[in-house]
Amino acid sequence: MAETRLIQGRYQLLDRIGRGGMGEVWRARDESLGRHVAVKCLKPLGPQHEPSYLRVLRERFRREARVAASLQHRGITVVHDFGESDGVLYLVMELLDGRNLSQLLEDNKQHPLPVPEVVEIAEQVGAALAYTHRQGIVHRDLKPANIMRLTDGTVKICDFGIARLGHDIGFTARLTGTGIAMGTPHYMSPEQIGAGSVDHRSDLYSLGCVLYEIATGAPPFDMDDAWAVLVGHRDTAPRPPRELRPELPEEFERVVLDLLAKDPDDRPDDATELVRRVTGTWPRREAGLAARSPMSLSDGVPRPPRETVSRPDGQPRLPAWARHMTTGSKAAGTGPVPAAPPDPAASLTGSWTTPWGRHGDGPLAPFEPPVPVGPAGPGTAARTPAPGGADTGRPRTVPERRTAVSARTAPGATAVRHGASLAGAPPAPVPRPSVPHPAHAVDPRRPAPRTAGAERPPPAAPPSPEQLADLAARHSGGLRLGRAGRWAEAGEAHRAVVAERERLLGPDHPDTLASRYEVAFSLSRLGRPEEALREFVRTAAARSRVLGADHPDTLAARQETAYVLGQLGRHFEAREVYADVLAARERIMGPDHPDTLRCGHNLAFSLSRLGRLEDSYRMARDVAAARARVLGPDHPDTLVTRYEVAYALGQLERWEEALRTYREVAASRARVLGADHPDTLAARYEAGICLGRLGRSAEALELYRTLIEDRTRVQGPAHPDTLRARHGLGVNLGRLGRWEEALAEARDVCAIRARVLGADHPDTLVSRREVAVGLGWLGRWTDALAVYRDVAQARQRVLGADHPDALASRNDEAHCLEQLGRTAEAAELYRQVAALRQTRNARR
């Protein structure tokens, strides 16, 4: 595309003004309208990606682009157009004349901006965020480089939707050419760092970091160690800004400190409250002040020297795992951006995760917002409900992961991620590998990255037995912390042991790699899959070199790599790794070895996520039969895979077989795990789904009533699983013609879901649609039309006008119009839906 310099015969690329991990930004001319624009060209969609995955990427891009284009506010960069040209996705935006806040600070020699400027920026950014948050849209990557101050004084937020798009697609490097890493830790909220739920209050925290920096000259946690910065966000109170700059208004300081509260509930309720509080903290700016050049910002403003914002004395000692790490560039860096070392994940995934155009073009982002885990019970993961099927969207079995053989479990014992319990399950005997700590490696056919210390000379003298014993004891202590669920402490302990073992034994010694494997495992359990992926890949590569590509420890590490790829939504890559590891395990260990079967289970899950339902069913069926033969029919691992078999049967519309399997799994789990175990309750819920699909609504109703009582007692009345069961109850009330009761249930569930999950959450929208269904069956078509339209607008706003869910809602609208006798309007709406569907299918 860069060779022709013309996109879609309309946008003439003139010169590149930015480059980053997701692509390039060009100044361009819109030949149709004769204006200059900015064009952001994302990375090419290469042939190494399978068509089903590429369709997902394109759909997510269209969704995020539509969200960005729908924003109409003077404080938000305008998106004019978007599309795809020669495999490159692009966004066309207004070309801004100004400087971002990072550049303003750099122009001002890292001194803070004048107080009136800071207050006005706070007001304008707050107003823009108040608008976007009312639309249900969260930026997720607010930082100085994403806030532009134009020459006329207008302040605009850039790159709405890009942070989430980059995360969804799997980019790991920068967005722009400013040298800013996406997910730079200086501006991340504690809930982003800790894998918590992220909402509009995360943006408010990031804004607090930005305001702190432009008001004092440095971000609130200005340390050279990335882990130290993250720990500061999580655990340390920021130094009050007025200690660094006394002329700041007291109320402004209170606002900033409130924005930086660790608990989202302690921050301002919304950006509107922020604007109200900021307004009046400083006299209004005089006319013409906004037009001054950036260099004039220093006129007459007293500033503390740069060193006054260094780490205060008495700060809590940082944990050992936070040492010897780097932050990358914060937004207001003063020097050139250093080149980053090669990303080890590239050896697994190819150039998709490396900067476009050349390697080493700026730093990789070491910290990206983690993937939130859905509110699922143990052994399950939340599946987004489809809007039309009121009883779809059930919890789903997740892939299994292997725990460390060394000390976490007995050899051969398994653990299912998110808590599928193995209590009381006897471990199957597994031959102990020659090196007593499992790990895995990347594909040996690819070049293996060297570790940072790989070229060090060997130690002058061997370590003493006392040193080795101490390290072994500390390693075992870390494992005990992990077994107790204290993963942050476990990771700290293992990171300290890694450093010592690397110094005494070398970076490629099996004991060093065993501890590095545990560091990665802890990161994964803490919801930090990007970091875990890097550590697993590094460990896998080293074990492949030292032990061989087919060693059990190497295969174990590669399997963990696949698991984390699945956590990140990169299922086609996970599938490839699982398939490769499975072939090696079958060849070396045999088809019935527990580790082979575990890999087969995970491969079945990945196939399902890629839409290969028949393949997924056959693989899961074979693994379940083998596990029953090897481990026993009631072993938790066997039941997990039988649950996956039942799910695949349902997806294939084989509801009788699915019902029978779910009931058998529920009965076995009740015996093995207990009647109230979340996995047991999940299997009972799935049986209710099957009964409804088979038209046996009276039986489903009875099942759901009992299940709701049990889930309310065990999980609470507002737990998503409890609400899911109540939703199923309402659906089956309607199927039995009891529409008044169904409508009341749907309204109650909708209200609770809106409060707990958010007004535009897919589950909430499903319940709102069910309210409209009930109104229609009761003949209240005017009321139903209003609700259907509300759902359709929300889905269009969030998903895009041509998303299948949005199209289904528009069809609901048309049906209501028909019932009201407004046939001409209904026909036109049907025509629009058909055209959108045809266009969508043509693109696919």
Distance CA 800, CA 354 (A): 29
Distance CA 351, CA 240 (A): 44
Q: State the burial class of residue 485 (Cβ atoms within 10 Å of its Cβ: 0-12, 13-18, 19+).
A: exposed
Distance CA 728, CA 713 (A): 18
Distance CA 145, CA 163 (A): 13
Q: CA 413 → CA 465, 552, 706, distances in Å?
A: 30, 15, 34
Distance CA 450, CA 82 (A): 40
Q: CA 563 → CA 520, 532, 641, distances in Å?
A: 12, 10, 16
Distance CA 134, CA 136 (A): 5
Cβ pair 598, 414 in contact under 8 A: yes
CA torsion sign for 12, 16, 17, 20 is positive
Distance CA 817, CA 821 (A): 6
C-alpha 307 chain-centroid distance: 36
C-alpha 462 chain-centroid distance: 44
Number of neighbours of residue 203 by Cβ within 10 angstroms: 24
Q: How many residues does the chain have?
A: 844
Cβ pair 797, 803 in contact under 8 A: no
Task: Tell me the two tokens of residue 242.
Answer: 């007025």
Contact residues for 44 (Cβ-Cβ < 8 A; gap 6+): 86, 87, 88, 356
CA nearest to 733, candidates 395, 718, 725, 382: 725
Four-point Cα dihedral 682, 684, 687, 689, nearest 10: -60
40 is in an annotated binding site: yes
Describe the strand order of the beta sheet including 35-44 as a list of residue ranges: 6-7, 11-20, 23-30, 35-44, 88-94, 79-85
As annotated, the active-site residues are 141
Residue positions forming the annotated binding site = 40
Residue positions forming the annotated binding site for ATP = 40
